[in-house]
Every structure is written in structure tokens, then in C-alpha cells.
Chains A and B, each alone.
Chain A
């Protein structure tokens, strides 16, 4: 929130804290709506201020792996954070199987189902190639040749050919299909990449197009059954079909806050700790100092264990503490409105952190597209 420039006294620290906290009550969630726009609070301006944002905005990384990234965005509005989340799910392009040409399929899996299963398999390959070389494929128009729009820079060709046969060397009394038959199971690793045109330049060696997880089961075969298909991959968006979504899921949660307003001691403290996930609440002995302080509630409890908040980020907001009468009035739960703990699980084509940067880039691009329109809109008045 930008600083107030109003005539009134600037809000106190408590009020700022209060404003910035979503209330977690027993049956309701309060103070949920965004307030980050000018004029929301009387006599306070809150206009967007770049410098203010620069100072207050923080990014903290918690975990950064290929398939999962967790980080905090602190100091943005829910609408911005949500925009990132939405873009991650639906608007980052990725490569997936779109067209399946069935030459022969005598397996029990029907053609459509097989095609559907193939579409959902995540693939990866040279990131540079996918990002820069590959462009979008357009569906040929009415009357046009069905391959008129298919080029090496918008289509990746794959092939899957598997035929199940009896294994000569199978042990006599075996009942395991893997031992009895060749190609009893068809996996994603059996899909072969067929480079076209200029593709070998990008997609070769370790950068070849390949399934992220080679062990995805596609179909089961029995002797005499055969699958022989060609596939075309294109780039697409998650809003078109979930298979193009580059993430398994992308979501965020708000940073939980736990405020112990009155001392919780002894057995109660243990019970209190058990109301949260392990590590959220720690038990510490009441220090002499605290015991001496009058009106703190710790008087005469020196050496007893008290509950203290250790790591609120681990809290899952199960509200268990609010359920027990002994903690009534002793604890206040909440969530920080501008602290977003993002969790991005990549499906594998991109790394999770890359995806976020891509999302930022896309949002920027969208904002860039919006700007002239807003300008024009104002002029049109």
C-alpha cells in the first residue's frame, strides 16, 4: 500500500496490521476484499507509487526444483498474484500431441481413447527450440490441403509402433505378461521422435523431444495386437485444452498469522501445539523475566512450558485451535493479505521457476497491449 498523503493522522501500526490481515474466524473469513486502490480509506490516497512498490515488494524463495517451486511474493495485491496464477495455468504455451494418425490399432484401447491418453503425456526437449524455433500451428481452412499449414517450425512428428508377440524364452510356468510377451505394455518411452527439416539443429541429443516421464503406461497388448501410429505435436494454450497447460497445478496461499493473546501453559500448551501441524507451535519454558512481569499472565509459572509461535508458514489453517473452548480468547488466527506463498508444479516441459518468469513476461506483454487501448479510450472521450 502506498503511503497516505491525507490530512488526517497516518494510521497506526496496529491499524495497518489490521488492514493487512484476513481474519480467520471459527466459521467465517473476514476482511477478504482488496483495498489497494486510491480513495478506499477516507482521507488517504493510496495511489500507485512505483518507488513505494520497489521498496516494499519482496520475493523469497523457499524451494526451487524442476517440478516444484515455492516462493513468496510479498507486497502485491491479490489481483496481481491471481493474474500470475491464471497465466501459469492457462496462458503459457506448451507443446503437446494434437493429431494422431492411426495406421493400425488392434489393441483393446479404442482409437479415440488412445489419442486422448497420448495427448495428456507431457513432453520436453530443447527449451530454446520450443520457445524460439517453434511457432503456432494454424488449422488448415476449408478446402485447403490438410497439411498446407504443417511445417517443421510448427509441428513435431512422433511415431509409436509396438507389436506384441510371444516370447520364445519365456519361463514355462510364468504368468507375468512381461515375461511371456514382447511389448506387453506400451510406455511413453516407446514413442520415437522424428526430426523434420530444421529441427535437428535444436532437437538432437539430450535436447530431443522426449516424454518427461518415460514410464507412463499408454496401453497393454497381447500377442497379435499391434499399435502403429504417427503423431503431430503443436504448441497450444491451457485455455484450449488442459493438455497444453504447462503446470500440474499452480496456486498460492496467504501467509498464516497466529497471535497468542493470552498465555497457554502446561498441558494446554501441548494440546495447543497438537492443534497445528508439527513445527508451527513450539514449547518453551516461561523465563524468569516473563514470570516477573506483572499482568502478562505468566506470573508464578516460571519454568512451565508455554506455547509460542515458531513457524506460521507451516500452518495449514485447519482452525483446530478455535474449536476447543480452553483456547477461546487466547488465540487470534489470520493471514497476511499481501503475502502470497506460491506453489508451482511444472508438468515437465519447463522448469517451475522459468514458468513464473514466463508468466511475468506474459502479464507485461498484456499490460503493454492494454496501455494503448486505455489511452485511446481516454482520447475517444
Chain B
């Protein structure tokens, strides 16, 4: 049975209103590739792909690299991890009695457990000189990403999903850690192992930097041109080292060779570079020996290779050794030095120098840090792999330590079995991973990485908010820095990152979202590609064979793979073309990119992970490769997107390769020079911006506002929304599919899980309660269910166990107590009962005595009531009560309450065009204006909302919606970006149905019964109810709780706090002279307290007596703020003397 993932409807018989037998035009229907792409890739495929890559390949590589542990105590002992794999998720509280140990994500959510699977290893080790092999030993537990290939949801059809209580439309790609859904956001960072040239105009410094990243370490190397001198800087070096010294140290090159390597035969560069030789000469460095010595003395101590722990302390190494080690292993570490062959590294350093010199002459060659091709996206798999590698290495160290501890013991009764230790130490891996995902604190010591906020709780406010979270990219830039560059829209973002979907405020432009067709690459092995290049084209020869003069000769192109030069060719175009042909034929992975950079005379091949790419249709000789027959096969479901990839009809281009192409937007734009054709222009937008109808007619910030608001809209969350027990869940009672939709809406299934209703809107002013974007609502519409929503809240209790064996319990109900009214006999609230403030929902009781028992002393069996009661002012109904156990075998009780709310004054609504407004007044139906046909609006919107906002899309939505309602045709209501229905057609429909062509109709006032003097624009507009509701925000206080320390009123609505009269308000009152009001606010209504003050010593007295002066004669009573009194006493307690001197401002007229 085919997987019914919802794309069938789009692909099969009637997609786009066409049946299989209808004629197909490639121009019109090439967009069918889009659902085909999403079917294969999905919206969150990048997360899942990355996780799959980690659990299937990377984890094995990590273990392979650190497989053996040997003991320093017993040289015959070793333990080796021969293989590792991740099993299917199962219950952690494994029980032989259970038939099924398979666990579903829903069970984890409800029971507050972690959705994880065993990590199994194959181990070989010695015990008493015997070699023992054990398979499938449990090492630790790995959190499983939902819908990854380890997950039970992988490849499940709708029926199976339903059986598991899972929503088939849920995107997956997140983890469930102790019942909460956690997403590892995509992280954006500068690409590693690539040279980036930067210029500091102010100080006229040009520097080339490279972040070398290997499995062992991460470090950054700079080559800087400052005042004509070129130096190399690195963290391991105490000071910048002249570049010639470095180059001399790298393999003993002669001055001539160095000059050639850097400058080639270019006289300008030679003139510039020659001064650096003097620098070396001045330092007295002429030979490699001297150079290494020079560098060695400048290597920071304690850095780099520490003597291995436990081994004999090594002799202090000589300067030369230090220098050699630093150059070979630390500086530019990603260029491996094999057999002390420093030439590749010398080439690399020379290349950096050359780039600096080139940038010095041509400022255009300075790299753009914000160019998307210079960025890499780090996904869940990569982050987990970093974490796992760190934890695994730590595990090996701990394992070794604890085994050695055992081996050290003399006279062992039983031989040391390392398996026990594996299990014991392995749980630190489990804990480490769980903790990292739960807290979002990613700390990897090797890389000095200490990131907070990597993970977030998956927002389940609406389907869109969850989906939007999965495509979010967060940047590493600081939010506080005032630079516009990283925040600005980059031209290279086209098609890769959504131009609309970014938050407002401090994270603006730093948090981005993926566009609809974006794919993020996973790692492809570099070596096979490297070998391929040599067999592919005989004109490509290893770089090792050439000198600098040949490398930099005009017309010679250096071939780089992942930033590392490795070959030379004089036919870059031919080579690139051959390479691409091979890729299109499927001999090379489709995600390997190649591009020719003529400015730098370089060919770049990239195979690394985290590049952003996107599919395009290949165009050959001015003709698109995709033909009618292909689309027909696609429609019939006979081929998939991947087949087209293999057939060379479409290919993925990353941002760098895009620079080598000429992409036509539409088929009509194809010329002889065109290399690619866009699949569908509206895919430059992301999933969230795709909800907006006619976004290309809106002012761009409005689309951005809608992207933020679409995530706050109340609607359907998932098909399993009523099975979930979330902390806070909003649902709409009658959600509707938007009248005007887009292809994106269909693709992301927003039409199946909508968040809003089609309101009949008239645009006119009414009553004055509609100023400042306020809306006028029809009371009858609200009566009939418009905007009605439900709020579910979770209340949970875990029954604690104490070390003395006592445990909390649910008490029997005593119905005579009024607050226990809604409880049933079992001490839990009855489902369906109405619960109001103060009533008990769970009658929990805690033992009085929780101290550990000593000896046989009998502890008291008394319990005190610690019930969970309902605290909100507005009553709710008990929706669900769940009693279960966590995996720690403690009892867990969750109660869900439900409120049903109709719209009220002040509730927030928004259309899909960034036009938000609150309800200003709710008007009876008979007062509403009505049209000739008796039509009466649900919402009246003030026309002043339009001129300054310029949301023409909203007008078009209204008109298109009206036409499709009138015509009764679903396919009329499409408002896709750049391909929406022509407006004239809509107007014609309206006229045919007897409406005005421009959507403005004759209305009669409901109040006077007379005609309105203007024609009123009206029609259906999709309105979203936003989560901000008056009921959750309104707050007032007359008297109430006070803070214990200061005796001032508490702060915040949740604590029934007061409204602060702040400093500025105080200033106003002073300026106005309202002294009595000020006195009342600051004393009577706050923390005024009567205090005895001794006028003689100036200290506080007590009960009219000064204990300092031992008299009550000079004690006066006055009122002061308690906080001031507290301050004085605190100062006194710190030995700061404070005396209060009193004087009568209005002396007694005696």
C-alpha cells in the first residue's frame, strides 16, 4: 500500500483541476514538480536527513576513530568497540512481563517520558587472556527524532498513525524529552575550513582568516596585512609571526620558491611582498631550523599536546620540536601533514597571503561574510554528533579509569568484566544527551563550545507555529550589536531563505526561515570525489607536482575541494562541464557542487555538510529538459522527484554554484545562454509566508507582520489535538478553510488544519468605536459561533516518594467540604464538572514526617493536605483526567481543564495581511448595515486601515473570495505569489452575478433604515483569532497581597499585584503639585509604616522608648515607607551609621 501522506491528492487524478487525460503544457504545469519535491523531501526533511545521517553513519565513524581502550596498568588488557547502532525506540522501564516494549511518541508525551532508543555496541575485550566478543551490548540511550528512520512513525501510513494516536500531518523532526517536545533549531554560522578575506577600512588592515575544524580541535588562523607587513596570527602563538618565517618553516622553501608560491610572476605582488623577506632577515631567520626555533619560542605553553595522563612525564621539548608540532598539528589543522610533507600547508598559507595581496589591490576581492554561500547551517544531527563524540570520549576516559581501578586491586575474586563498567559509565552518555536537549546548553569542551538556547520547546499554539519552528534558523551573531549587515536581506538568499519570515525587534534579520524548496546538504565523502576528478579529466593534475610559478600562471586554475587546493587545470570550464555531466548522470552525489571563480582563478568543489541548496530544471540549448511526458509520468505516480534527479532533468544548485548559472524565471524568458529554469517562483517564500494570499501586492513589512501573527492564530493544532494534554492549548471551535488559498497552503496542509474563519467584512466607518484599527463585530455572528475558541490547561501532579519509604497519596473525598464539591470518591475531579476558583481538582496528601527513619523508630502516619486547586478567576470545565506512571514508577496525575470563549471586547483579531485589530464594540445584528440581498457583515473594518498600510493583497483577497463564493468554484480562490488569478476575471464574475465590478455595493443603514451615501466595499476575508485575549490579561486590585520583605504590593497579574506608580509618574505628580495624591500612592496605598524616632540620637526607638538614649522623652512618631526603614536598618547592620534628624516644617505657633 502506498504511503498516504496527503500528497496524493495533489499529484493524482485531479491535481490542479486537471485529470490524467487533460492536455499538459510544460509551461503551466512544471509546478507539479513542487509537490513531487515535497513528497520526497518534506518540509522538515533537513532535520530528519541530518539525524538519519548521524545515527546511520557519523556515529559509526566516531566510534571507529576512538574504538580501543588500553590499560596502563595491565598491558594485556584491551577493550574494543567494533560496531555501534541505534535500535528502535522502546520503553526505558523494560519489563519482561510486557509483550510490547515498543513505545509510541504519544505515550511519551502523556507519561512524561523520553522517546529514546538503545544504542547497541559490539564489544571485543580480554578477560584473563581470553578474547571475548559480545554483540548488542546496551551502551546508552539515544533520544529519537520523530519521523526519522529510527522512529516508529517512519513510513507509517495514515491508518498506522491513527493507531499510534499520532497526527499524520505532524511534520516530525523534534525530540520528546521527559514529555516535552524539543526542537534543535538550525544554527547558522560562517563556513569552516574556508578562507575569508576581510578588510578593516579604518585601520587599513586586510586579513585572510580560516577556521580550521577537525575532529580534534577547532582554531582560527589569520594572515594579516598591516602597514605593508604580512604576519600570521594564531591563538597558539604569543605574537604575530612574520609570514616569511612561517613559510620558511614549512618545508624549507627557498626565498625564490616562497616568492613564486605567493606572487607567481606578477610584478606588483612581488614588489609588495618583498619587504617581508627583510622582516625575516631582521629576525635573523634564514633557514628552516631557525624558523622553527623562532616559532617554537613563541608557542604558548600548556597549549597543544599535553603529556598523556598517567604516562611518564616527558622531557621538556626543544623549541624546534615545539614549532614543528604547532605547525603540523595546530596551525591550519585541517590540512593534514603526512610524513612531514609541509608542502600542501605551505601552498595553503601562500594562498592566504596571495588572497590578502589581491584584496589589497582590488577591494572587490574582499569576501562578504553575509553571502549565503559563505554560511553553513548546523542541524540536529551535526550538533548531536559533536555532543556524542565529546560524551563518548569522556566515556572512554571514565571507562579506562574505572577499569584500571579494578585492575589495580590485588587478589581479585572474580576477573574484571569491563561490560559492567560499560553499562555504568554509559548512562552518563544518556544523561548528557538528555540534559543537553532539555536545557539547550550545548557544551563541547574540545571546541570550547558553550552555547545556550540551542533547543526550544516546540510551540504548539497552532499548526503553523509548530511548522514555522521547524524551518527556523538562528544566527550566532549577538543580538545587541548594532550592525546592519547580518540583518539585511542578502541577494543570495533568493530562493533559499524566506524574505518575509523574520521576527520584528532585536532578532530581526538574525532569525530566518527556510524557503519552501530549500534543502540542506549532508556530508559527502571527499576522497572519492577527489579521485574522480583525476580520472574525469586528464587536464586536472595533482597540485603537489607544481611550483608556484605554474600555479599562478595566467590561465591556470587551482582546483579546491572544500576549500583545500589539491589540483591544477588549464581547462576549468571543460572540467566543470564534465563534472556536472557526471553528477547529472548520478556518478557523483547530486549534492556535490562545483563552481568556477574566474576572479580568483579557482575551481571550487564542495562536498561538505550544511550548504543550502535548491532544485532547478536543467536547460540545455535553450530548451528545458522537462517535457510533457515527464509530467504525465509524474501525474500517474510512476516516477518521483528523485528519478528526475537521476535522469538529469533537475539538479540541486548551492548558492556558490548559482553564481555560475543563468536561471530563467519563466519558460518564456529562456535564451541560448540560459542554463536553468526556476521550478516555481513563489517558492522563494517559506511555509509561513505562503499563507498570505496575494503577497506580491502587499507592502513587504505587512507580510513580515503576518508571518509573526500567523503563529499566534488560534486554530486546529493537529488531528490528535484532543488526545494531547499540553500545558496550554488553544483551539477554534469551527475552523474554516480559507476562501482564498494558495498552492503553498495545500502543500503544507493548512487547508486541513486551518486557523481562522472566513468573515464577511464590510469596509466602512461605524460608530467611532472602530478607530485605531478596532473592529466592529456582529453580535449575532458571535452567537452563531464566530471566533469561538477553547482554551485547555494542564494541571499535573507527580506523587513523590520519600527516602523513609513514605509517599504522597490521593486522599479520600470528604464531600461536606465545599471546596471539594467537584471531587469524585477517588479524590480526583469528575470529568465534565464545572470548576471555579479555589476548588480542589486533585486531593493530594503528603506525609507529615519525611525525615529518614533511624533504626526501628516508628514514624507517624499522619498526612497533611496538599491539594491541587483551580486558581483562575474564570471557571472552567474538567475535560480529562489521566492517571499513569512515569518511567521512574511514580504516579502521575494530569487534569485538563477547558474553557469555551466567545469573542469579547478587546480580543485580538487579524487578517492575513498584517492587519491586526481589537474588538471595539459588538453590535446587534439589526443595527448592522445590510445589503440589497439581506447580507449583513460579521466584521466592520475601518477604511483608515488601508491607505498607510498599502495592503492591496487584502482588497484582492476580498474580491477574489467574493467571486469564488458567488461562483461556487473552489479553484477560483487562488492567491499565490506571482501566479494569482487575474482580477479582471473576478470582476466579470461579480458583474454576472449582479454585484458591482469593483466589489462595492449599495448598503442600507440598520439604524436609520436609510441608504448609505457611499457604496461599501465588502466580501469574505479570512480572519484569524489571535491568542491575546482580554480574559487572560485584565487585572485590577484594590487591596491584595504584599511582598514580605518590603511590604509593598506584589507585582504582576498572576500574583494579584498592584499597578506601579513609577519614577516618571512620580515626577509628573511632583511637577503638578499633587502632594496629597503622591502621599496616598506612596504611603497609604503602599508600604507606609509608623516608626518611632529618637530626636536625640536619630535612631529608631521602640514603643515610644529609645533604647539607645534610655529615655522616651525625645521619641517622635512618624510615617515612612517600610522600604526606607529597611534600608536604614540594613545600612546600620553593615556599620554605616544613619541618623535621622527631624525638624518641624510647620512649628507649633506657641
- Assess the B790–A242 pair: CB atoms within 8 A: no
- Assess the A242–B783 pair: CB atoms within 8 A: yes
Minimum CB–CB distance from A352 to chain B (whole Å) comes to 13
Give which listed residue, A34, A105, A111, contacts B1010 with CB less than 8 A.
Answer: A34
Give which listed residue, A82, A245, A319, contacts B1009 with CB less than 8 A.
Answer: A82
- Assess the A323–B898 pair: CB atoms within 8 A: no
Give which listed residue, A81, A110, A320, contacts B996 with CB less than 8 A.
Answer: A320
Give which listed residue, B926, B931, B991, B1015, contacts A89 with CB less than 8 A.
Answer: B926
- Assess the A89–B1009 pair: CB atoms within 8 A: no
- Assess the B1014–A29 pair: CB atoms within 8 A: yes
Encode contact with B along A82-125: 1 for CB under 8 Å, 0 otherwise: 11011001100000000000100100101111001000100000
Give which listed residue, A27, A30, A253, contacts B932 with CB less than 8 A.
Answer: A253
Q: Does B879 contact A (CB under 8 A)?
A: yes
The residue on B at minimum CB distance from A117 is: B785
Encode contact with A along B929-949: 1 for CB under 8 Å, 0 otherwise: 011111010000000000000
Residues 1008-1034 of B at the A interface (beta carbon under 8 Å): 1008-1015
Encode contact with A along B732-757: 1 for CB under 8 Å, 0 otherwise: 01000000000000000000000000
- Assess the A32–B783 pair: CB atoms within 8 A: no
- Assess the B926–A86 pair: CB atoms within 8 A: yes
Minimum CB–CB distance from A46 to chain B (whole Å) comes to 17
Residues of B within 8 A of A27 (CB): 1014-1015
Minimum CB–CB distance from A304 to chain B (whole Å) comes to 26
CA distance A218 to B609 in the complex (A): 54
- Assess the B934–A33 pair: CB atoms within 8 A: no
CA distance A113 to B732 in the complex (A): 11
Residues of B within 8 A of A320 (CB): 991, 996-997
- Assess the B936–A249 pair: CB atoms within 8 A: yes
Q: Does A282 contact B (CB under 8 A)?
A: no
Residues of B within 8 A of A277 (CB): 994
Give which listed residue, B926, B933, B934, B1011, contacts A32 with CB less than 8 A.
Answer: B1011
- Assess the B1012–A32 pair: CB atoms within 8 A: yes
| Given A79-B1008, A335-B1011, CB of A242 within 8 Å of CB of B930 | no
CA distance A30 to B991 in the complex (A): 23
- Assess the A110–B879 pair: CB atoms within 8 A: yes
| Given A90-B926, A120-B784, CB of A111 within 8 Å of CB of B994 | no
Minimum CB–CB distance from B832 to chain A (whole Å) comes to 6
Q: Does B779 contact A (CB under 8 A)?
A: yes
| Given A242-B779, A250-B934, A318-B995, CB of A113 within 8 Å of CB of B1013 | no
Q: Does B722 contact A (CB under 8 A)?
A: yes
Give which listed residue, B994, B996, B1008, contacts A78 with CB less than 8 A.
Answer: B1008
Residues of B within 8 A of A82 (CB): 1006, 1008-1009
Q: Does B286 contact A (CB under 8 A)?
A: no
Interface centre among A27, A33, A78, A317, by most B CB within 10 Å?
A317
Residues 350-386 of B at the A interface (beta carbon under 8 Å): none
Residues 325-349 of A at the B interface (beta carbon under 8 Å): 335, 343, 345
Minimum CB–CB distance from A49 to chain B (whole Å) comes to 22
Minimum CB–CB distance from A41 to chain B (whole Å) comes to 18
CA distance A82 to B995 in the complex (A): 23
Residues of B within 8 A of A156 (CB): none
Minimum CB–CB distance from A241 to chain B (whole Å) comes to 5
Give which listed residue, B722, B788, B991, B1012, contacts A29 with CB less than 8 A.
Answer: B1012
CA distance A319 to B934 in the complex (A): 18
| Given A242-B925, A316-B994, CB of A78 within 8 Å of CB of B1010 | yes
Minimum CB–CB distance from A30 to chain B (whole Å) comes to 7
Minimum CB–CB distance from B414 to chain A (whole Å) comes to 57
Minimum CB–CB distance from A114 to chain B (whole Å) comes to 11
Q: Does B1105 contact A (CB under 8 A)?
A: no
Q: Does B132 contact A (CB under 8 A)?
A: no
- Assess the B832–A323 pair: CB atoms within 8 A: no
| Given A249-B934, A277-B994, A335-B1011, CB of A86 within 8 Å of CB of B1006 | yes
| Given A242-B779, A320-B996, CB of A85 within 8 Å of CB of B936 | no
The residue on A at minimum CB distance from B1007 is: A82
- Assess the B1010–A32 pair: CB atoms within 8 A: yes
Residues of B within 8 A of A28 (CB): 1013-1015
Residues of B within 8 A of A252 (CB): 1004
Residues of A within 8 A of B1001 (CB): 317
Residues 39-83 of A at the B interface (beta carbon under 8 Å): 78-79, 81-83
Encode contact with A along B296-337: 1 for CB under 8 Å, 0 otherwise: 000000000000000000000000000000000000000000
Give which listed residue, A24, A111, A241, A243, contacts B1002 with CB less than 8 A.
Answer: A24
- Assess the B925–A81 pair: CB atoms within 8 A: no
Q: Does A239 contact B (CB under 8 A)?
A: yes
| Given A110-B879, A110-B900, A112-B900, CB of A32 within 8 Å of CB of B1013 | yes
Minimum CB–CB distance from A124 to chain B (whole Å) comes to 19
| Given A24-B1002, A243-B783, A253-B932, CB of A323 within 8 Å of CB of B1010 | no
CA distance A316 to B991 in the complex (A): 10
Q: Does A254 contact B (CB under 8 A)?
A: yes
Encode contact with B along A245-262: 1 for CB under 8 Å, 0 otherwise: 100011111100000000
Interface centre among B733, B788, B1002, by most A CB within 10 Å?
B1002
| Given A112-B877, A335-B1011, A343-B934, CB of A242 within 8 Å of CB of B784 | yes
| Given A86-B1006, A239-B924, A242-B783, CB of A254 within 8 Å of CB of B1011 | yes
- Assess the A111–B877 pair: CB atoms within 8 A: yes
Minimum CB–CB distance from B762 to chain A (whole Å) comes to 14
Minimum CB–CB distance from A68 to chain B (whole Å) comes to 11
Minimum CB–CB distance from B541 to chain A (whole Å) comes to 67
Residues of B within 8 A of A188 (CB): none
Q: Does A307 contact B (CB under 8 A)?
A: no
Q: Does B892 contact A (CB under 8 A)?
A: no
Residues of A within 8 A of B995 (CB): 316, 318
Q: Does A273 contact B (CB under 8 A)?
A: no
Residues of A within 8 A of B1009 (CB): 78-79, 81-83, 85
CA distance A231 to B10 in the complex (A): 45
Give which listed residue, A29, A90, A111, contacts B924 with CB less than 8 A.
Answer: A90
Residues of B within 8 A of A241 (CB): 783
Q: Does B24 contact A (CB under 8 A)?
A: no
Minimum CB–CB distance from A199 to chain B (whole Å) comes to 27
Residues of B within 8 A of A318 (CB): 990-991, 994-997
| Given A113-B900, A242-B783, CB of A29 within 8 Å of CB of B997 | no
Residues of A within 8 A of B785 (CB): 116, 120
Residues of B within 8 A of A110 (CB): 790, 877, 879, 898, 900
Residues of A within 8 A of B1013 (CB): 28-30, 32
| Given A78-B1008, A89-B925, CB of A111 within 8 Å of CB of B832 | yes
The residue on A at minimum CB distance from B898 is: A110
Residues of A within 8 A of B996 (CB): 318-320
Q: Does A22 contact B (CB under 8 A)?
A: yes
Minimum CB–CB distance from A84 to chain B (whole Å) comes to 9
Residues of B within 8 A of A323 (CB): 997
Can you list 28 A-B pairs, Cβ within 8 angstroms, ordered by A? A24-B1002, A29-B1011, A32-B1010, A32-B1013, A33-B1010, A79-B1008, A79-B1009, A89-B926, A90-B925, A90-B926, A110-B898, A111-B832, A113-B790, A116-B733, A120-B784, A120-B785, A239-B924, A239-B926, A241-B783, A245-B780, A251-B931, A251-B1004, A254-B1011, A316-B933, A318-B997, A323-B997, A343-B934, A345-B934
Instruction: Given contact pairs A90-B925, A112-B877, enumerate 19 new A-B contacts (beta carbons under 8 Å).
Output: A28-B1015, A29-B1002, A85-B1009, A89-B926, A108-B722, A110-B790, A110-B877, A112-B898, A113-B733, A120-B784, A238-B780, A239-B926, A275-B991, A316-B933, A316-B995, A318-B994, A320-B991, A343-B934, A345-B934
Closest 9 CB pairs of A and B: A82-B1009, A316-B994, A242-B783, A251-B934, A242-B780, A78-B1009, A112-B900, A253-B932, A86-B926
Residues of B that sit less than 8 Å from A by CB? 722, 733, 779-781, 783-785, 788, 790, 832, 877, 879, 898, 900, 924-926, 930-934, 936, 990-991, 994-997, 1001-1002, 1004, 1006, 1008-1015
